[in-house]
């Protein structure tokens, strides 16, 4: 993975010093609340209902075991001993004291981590495919470009005060695992007719109260033009994006209001002016790629026969393998998901003790690396199949082996009203109730791939608009109600969910999920997945069943 | 009034003229509307002439006139309004403007580093009482990754 040199390190150390002084000036009354807000936000610090919340960046979801141990240490020392992983591969501390945040940032800086631009109206952390570099069918590993974009966007002097937040996601595999179509910019590594690798560029996707899928602005962009093209898009947006209404300030609205063709004309005109000056050198691409080379895979890894044997002997292991382990491009290696969705666990939460174990296991079985996924889980990307049983036993002891990846209980869920100052409704307690209702694993497997996403407000942090089942908490006269959508997807076949009907009271949410699932089981043809059934029959049959009784 | 110019505290010698105010002697700045209406008179102004722009103004329309101004004032009505960062870069990088570019409005200590990178070289601080301590803001960082007005090549090409 990428290692900081003295320049990278100096920059984050100086950021800590800068933020320490900003905090000091705020506490001394030299900066008022309004002046301090954008400064703390660009350092990932929100002020929530109970306490501040600090969001740390995990560039393209990659962490070392050293960093994981530091996360555990910091959460014990400065917080309540756990952290929460988000839908953008970052993690959050839910209870830090505002005064200690500079110290926390200094601790993280010592292991090359930062909170730079993890919030605020600026270019946010670039996210990517959690299987980057290890999956089959990848055009190229997207992570070096993720790092190049991280450096370009970090402290970009022109784009620190955009109309609204700006999120970029990049993938190298056509199976889009980073929800690129619902990002402000989505980048797909593709090959052109001449066999050269470059980027397809999408712009103007987004979720929140107005979910829109991104539109193609350029079918093929040469690698050397990556940064000049991004800069051109950002400059056009910085000048043109609306600043009169924060709900209309995202680039998705700029694109909608002006039309993709007009935006393309503006961007291309801007790009022509700057492309030579901002050309990305092949030498720099190669330098960064040098940090993401393949590890030395053991050629004998596939000769192991214990993996097959243990699946026969231990059906719990076999079940975990079937659900939480996926293919690796190298024979004898596998990718293992670490589920952060144990039944009683708030989705995405992980304790300091669990993190310590994960760090040890990463050193023992996964070359010292851990990845975060946009579905709020972790994963080990390079496990020898012969090590999987030993790994599983340890994960099982720590309640990190719930075999539910991509099932109904692998729910994406925002912190909701229990933590978040923006939320209108709770989400975590409902997730728990849903888990209790759907605790039969065989039943879950029969339901198959079923992505449930639940957000406590319009901001849609849990991406409910692209959930197979989306659940959105709304406030009606002080009461919590929930709006359901069906048929959304954030993958290659992305689509926005359609509204089921009027909002449902909190007490009926779990029953509604049951009714939806029962209806699907009646309607599905053979092994048809939930999403396909919804797409085939539409929302109406589900609607009739859910609203039949009232 | 004191301002920061080229990283030093200096006494300001410009008068920002309202659109209704009568022309005055000495260095003056005018709005784009006034320039467009009275450019013939203003072009004969004996002392320095400056132009005030807001982020909503059509920057490209002003380009042919840039030689008439020894100062361009960019308006930051709120420090979260970042449009004029792009204006500054375009004025320097694309339109070759060599005169003074000044930031006016909600200008805080914490924006000075970015603004300087974008080519702004003078500042009317929102809180003139803290102008002395604000000078530290120029040194928040010793390096930046990007190609900027001050650094015409990215970090990797200069140092790596």
* Among A46-50, A335-339, A446-450, the least confident range: A46-50
Question: Cα separations (Å) of A217 from A23, A126, A279, B30?
Answer: 41, 19, 19, 39
| Residue A531: per-residue pLDDT | 97
Q: How far apart are CA A244 and CA A231, in angstroms?
A: 23
Nearest one of A435, A524, A425 to A484, comparing CA atoms: A425
Q: How far apart are CA A335 and CA A329, in angstroms?
A: 10
Q: What is the DSSP string of A386-420?
A: GGHHHHHHHHHHTT---S-TTSTTS-EE--GGGT-
Q: How far apart are CA A20 and CA A374, in angstroms?
A: 31
Say if A125 is an interface residue toward chain B (CB within 8 Å): no
**pLDDT mean over B51-66:** 97
Residue with tokens 């029959």: A537
Of A175 and A209, the one with more pLDDT: A175
β-bridge pairing A82-85 and A91-93: antiparallel
At A426, phi and psi to the nearest 5? -80, 155
| Residue B11: per-residue pLDDT | 97
Helix or strand or coil: residue B47?
Answer: coil
Best probe of the A interface among B96, B110, B120, B140, by most A CBs < 10 A, is B110
Sign of torsion over alpha carbons A325, A328, A331, A336 = negative
Looking at the predicted structure, is the pLDDT value of residue A242 above 70? yes
Residues of B in contact with A21 (CB under 8 A): 136
Residues of A in contact with B85 (CB under 8 A): 157-161, 238
Confidence at B4, pLDDT banded by 50, 70, 90: very high
Q: How far apart are CA A342 and CA A411, in angstroms?
A: 10
| Residue A171: per-residue pLDDT | 97
Q: What is the value of ipTM here, to two decimals? A: 0.97
Question: In the 3-class helix/strand/coil scheme, how is A282-336 assigned residue by residue?
Answer: HHHHHHHHHHHCCCCCCCCHHHCCHHHHHHHHCHHHHHHHHHHEEECCCCCEEEE
Confidence at A52, pLDDT banded by 50, 70, 90: confident
Structural domain spans, chain A: 6-109, 134-289, 301-397, 412-547
Q: How far apart are CA A34 and CA A260, in angstroms?
A: 35
Question: Cα separations (Å) of A144 from A58, A90, A329, A491, B28?
Answer: 14, 18, 19, 22, 51
| Residue A550: per-residue pLDDT | 56
Of B79, B94, B156, the CB nearest to A284: B156
Looking at the predicted structure, is the pLDDT value of residue A208 above 90? no
- Tokens coding A259: 């039309």
| Residue A91: per-residue pLDDT | 97
Homologous superfamily (CATH) of B2-159 is Aldolase class I (3.20.20.70)
Mean pLDDT for all residues in chain A: 95
Tell if the CB–CB gap between B86 and A158 is shorter than 8 Å.
Answer: yes
Q: How far apart are CA A46 and CA A38, in angstroms?
A: 10
**pLDDT mean over A102-126:** 97
What are A156-199's pLDDT values in tens digits? Answer: 999 999 999 999 999 999 999 999 999 999 999 999 999 999 99
| Residue A420: per-residue pLDDT | 83
Nearest one of A80, A79, A57 to A67, comparing CA atoms: A57
Residues of A in contact with B91 (CB under 8 A): none
Q: What is the DSSP string of A355-389?
A: HHHHHHHHHHHSTTEEEE-TTS-EEEEEEEGGGHH
| Residue A49: per-residue pLDDT | 67
Query: Do A40 and A24 form a contact (C-beta atoms < 8 A)?
Result: no
Q: How far apart are CA A371 and CA B121, in angstroms?
A: 43
Say if A237 is an interface residue toward chain B (CB within 8 Å): no
- Percent of chain A exceeding pLDDT 90 equals 92
Of B55, B114, B140, the CB nearest to A160: B114
- Tokens coding A26: 């705020």
Tell if the CB–CB gap between A161 and B142 is shorter than 8 Å.
Answer: no
Strand partners, B4: B9, B123
Best probe of the A interface among B84, B86, B88, B135, by most A CBs < 10 A, is B86
Q: How far apart are CA A91 and CA A350, in angstroms?
A: 10
**pLDDT mean over B70-85:** 96
What are A475-522's pLDDT values in tens digits? Answer: 999 999 999 999 999 999 999 999 999 999 999 999 999 999 999 999
Tell if the CB–CB gap between B142 and A10 is shorter than 8 Å.
Answer: yes
Residues of A in contact with B55 (CB under 8 A): 239
Q: Which of residues 216-235 of A touch B (CB under 8 A)?
A: 235
Please name the CATH architecture into which domain A6-109 falls. Answer: Alpha-Beta Complex (3.90)
The CATH number given to A412-547 is: 3.30.413.10
Question: Cα separations (Å) of B28 from A39, A71, B10, B39, B75?
Answer: 34, 56, 17, 13, 16
Of A121, A157, A235, the CB nearest to B148: A157
Query: Do A176 and A466 form a contact (C-beta atoms < 8 A)?
Result: no
β-bridge pairing A498-499 and A479-486: antiparallel
Question: Cα separations (Å) of A29 from A22, A306, A323, A400?
Answer: 11, 65, 54, 45
Tell if the CB–CB gap between A157 and B144 is shorter than 8 Å.
Answer: yes
Strand partners, A169: A127, A186
Residue with tokens 């990190």: A400
Helix or strand or coil: residue A10?
Answer: helix
Looking at the predicted structure, is the pLDDT value of residue A103 above 90? yes
- Tokens coding A113: 């981590």
Q: How far apart are CA A416 and CA A347, in angstroms?
A: 11
Helix (H) or strand (E) run with residue A228 in it? helix A226-240
* CATH class, A301-397 region: alpha beta
Q: Which residues of A285-295 are buried (b: 16+ CB within 10 A; e: fewer)?
A: beebbeebeee
Confidence at A422, pLDDT banded by 50, 70, 90: confident
Best probe of the B interface among A2, A8, A41, A157, by most B CBs < 10 A, is A157
Tell if the CB–CB gap between A161 and B82 is shorter than 8 Å.
Answer: yes
Residues contacting A151, CB < 8 A, separation 6+:
A8, B145, B155, B156
Helix or strand or coil: residue B81?
Answer: coil
Q: What residue of A is the nearest CA neighbor of B115?
A: A157
Q: Given strand A197-203, what is the order of strands in its sheet?
A: A127-128, A168-171, A185-191, A197-203, A215-222
| Residue B101: per-residue pLDDT | 98
Query: Do A157 and A404 form a contact (C-beta atoms < 8 A)?
Result: no
Q: What residue of A is the nearest CA neighbor of B84?
A: A239
| Residue A549: per-residue pLDDT | 66
Query: Do A143 and A289 form a contact (C-beta atoms < 8 A)?
Result: no
Q: How many CB atoms lie within 10 A of CB A543?
A: 19
Query: Do A70 and A111 form a contact (C-beta atoms < 8 A)?
Result: yes
Query: Do A431 and A347 form a contact (C-beta atoms < 8 A)?
Result: yes
Q: How far apart are CA A248 and CA A257, in angstroms?
A: 10
- Tokens coding A13: 């150390």
**A485-A489-A493 Cα angle (round to 5):** 140
Listed in order, strand segments (DSSP E) in A104-149 are 127-128
Q: Given strand A91-93, what is the order of strands in its sheet?
A: A45-47, A52-56, A91-93, A82-85, A349-351
Looking at the predicted structure, is the pLDDT value of residue A105 above 60? yes
Q: How far apart are CA A392 and CA A370, in angstroms?
A: 15
| Residue B159: per-residue pLDDT | 86
Q: How many CB atoms lie within 10 A of CB A269?
A: 11
Q: Which CATH number fits domain A134-289: 2.130.10.10, 3.30.413.10, 1.20.1250.20, 3.40.50.150?
A: 3.30.413.10
Q: What residue of B is the nearest CA neighbor of A30?
A: B130
Q: Given strand A333-338, what is the order of strands in its sheet?
A: A62-64, A369-372, A378-384, A333-338, A325-327
Looking at the predicted structure, is the pLDDT value of residue A50 above 80? no
Nearest one of A285, A485, A370 to A66, comparing CA atoms: A370
Q: How many CB atoms lie within 10 A of CB A503?
A: 18
Same fold, A134-289 and A301-397: no
Residues of B in contact with A164 (CB under 8 A): none
What are A327-371's pLDDT values in tens digits? Answer: 999 999 999 999 999 998 999 999 999 999 999 999 999 999 999
**pLDDT mean over A292-307:** 95
Q: How far apart are CA A67 and CA A128, in angstroms?
A: 19
Question: In the 3-class helix/strand/coil scheme, how is A470-514 assigned residue by residue?
Answer: EEEEEEECCEEEEEEEECCECCCCCECCEECCCCEEHHHHHHHHH
Q: How far apart are CA A512 and CA A430, in angstroms?
A: 12
């Amino acid at each position: 993975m990428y290692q900081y040199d003295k320049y990278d390190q100096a920059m984050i150390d100086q950021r800590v010093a800068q933020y320490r002084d900003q905090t000091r000036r705020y506490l001394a009354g030299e900066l008022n609340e309004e002046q301090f807000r954008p400064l703390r936000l660009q350092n990932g610090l929100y002020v929530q209902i109970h306490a501040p919340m600090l969001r740390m960046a995990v560039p393209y979801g990659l962490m070392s075991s050293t960093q994981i141990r530091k996360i555990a240490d910091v959460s014990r020392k400065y917080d309540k001993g756990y952290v929460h992983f988000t839908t953008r591969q970052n993690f959050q501390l839910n209870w830090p004291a505002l005064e200690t945040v500079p110290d926390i940032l200094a601790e993280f800086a010592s292991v090359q981590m930062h909170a730079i631009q993890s919030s605020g109206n600026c270019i946010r952390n670039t996210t990517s495919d959690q299987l980057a570099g290890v999956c089959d069918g990848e055009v190229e590993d997207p992570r070096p470009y993720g790092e190049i974009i991280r450096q370009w966007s970090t402290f970009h002097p022109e784009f620190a005060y955009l109309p609204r937040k700006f999120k970029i996601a990049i993938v190298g595999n056509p199976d889009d695992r980073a929800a690129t179509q619902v990002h402000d910019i989505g980048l797909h590594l593709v090959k052109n007719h001449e066999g050269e690798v470059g980027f397809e560029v999408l712009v103007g996707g987004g979720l929140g109260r107005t979910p829109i899928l991104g539109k193609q602005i350029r079918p093929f962009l040469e690698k050397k033009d990556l940064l000049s093209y991004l800069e051109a898009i950002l400059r056009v947006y910085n000048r043109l994006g609306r600043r009169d209404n924060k709900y209309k300030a995202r680039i998705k609205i700029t694109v909608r209001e002006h039309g993709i063709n007009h935006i393309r004309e503006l961007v291309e005109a801007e790009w022509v002016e700057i492309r030579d000056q901002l050309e990305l050198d092949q030498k720099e691409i190669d330098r960064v790629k040098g940090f993401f080379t393949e590890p030395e895979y053991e050629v004998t890894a596939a000769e192991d026969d214990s993996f097959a044997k243990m699946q026969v002997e231990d059906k719990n292991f076999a079940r975990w393998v079937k659900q939480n382990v996926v293919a690796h491009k190298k024979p004898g290696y596998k990718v293992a998901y670490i589920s952060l969705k144990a039944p009683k666990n708030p989705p995405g939460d992980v304790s300091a003790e669990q993190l310590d174990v994960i760090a040890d296991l990463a050193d023992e079985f996964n070359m010292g690396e851990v990845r975060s996924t946009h579905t709020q889980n972790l994963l080990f990307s390079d496990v020898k199949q012969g090590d999987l049983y030993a790994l599983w036993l340890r994960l099982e002891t720590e309640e990190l082996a719930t075999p539910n990846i991509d099932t109904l209980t692998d729910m994406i869920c925002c912190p909701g009203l229990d933590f978040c100052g923006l939320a209108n409704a709770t989400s975590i307690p409902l997730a728990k109730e849903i888990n209790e209702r759907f605790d039969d694993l065989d039943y879950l497997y029969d339901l198959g791939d079923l992505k449930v996403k639940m957000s406590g407000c319009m901001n849609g942090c849990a991406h409910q608009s692209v959930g197979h089942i989306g659940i959105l908490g709304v406030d009606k006269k002080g009461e919590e109600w929930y709006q359901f959508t069906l048929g959304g997807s954030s993958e290659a076949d992305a689509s926005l969910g359609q509204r089921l009907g009027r909002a449902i009271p909190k007490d009926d949410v779990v029953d509604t999920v049951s009714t939806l699932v029962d209806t699907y089981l009646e309607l599905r043809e053979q092994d048809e997945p939930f999403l396909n059934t919804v797409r085939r029959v539409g929302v109406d049959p589900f609607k009739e069943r859910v609203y039949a009784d009232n | 009034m004191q301002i920061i110019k080229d990283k030093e505290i200096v006494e300001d010698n410009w008068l920002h003229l309202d659109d209704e105010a009568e022309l005055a002697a000495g260095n003056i700045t005018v709005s784009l509307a006034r320039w467009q209406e009275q450019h013939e008179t203003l072009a004969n102004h004996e002392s320095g002439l400056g132009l005030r722009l807001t982020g909503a103004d059509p920057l490209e329309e002003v380009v042919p006139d840039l030689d008439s101004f020894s100062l361009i004032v960019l308006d930051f009505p709120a420090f979260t309004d970042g449009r004029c960062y792009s204006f500054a870069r375009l004025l320097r990088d694309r339109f070759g403007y060599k005169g003074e570019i000044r930031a006016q409005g909600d200008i805080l200590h914490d924006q000075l580093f970015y603004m300087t990178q974008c080519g702004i070289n003078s500042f009317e601080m929102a809180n003139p009482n803290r102008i002395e301590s604000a000078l530290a803001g120029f040194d928040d960082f010793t390096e930046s990754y990007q190609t900027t007005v001050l650094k015409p090549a990215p970090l990797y090409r200069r140092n790596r």
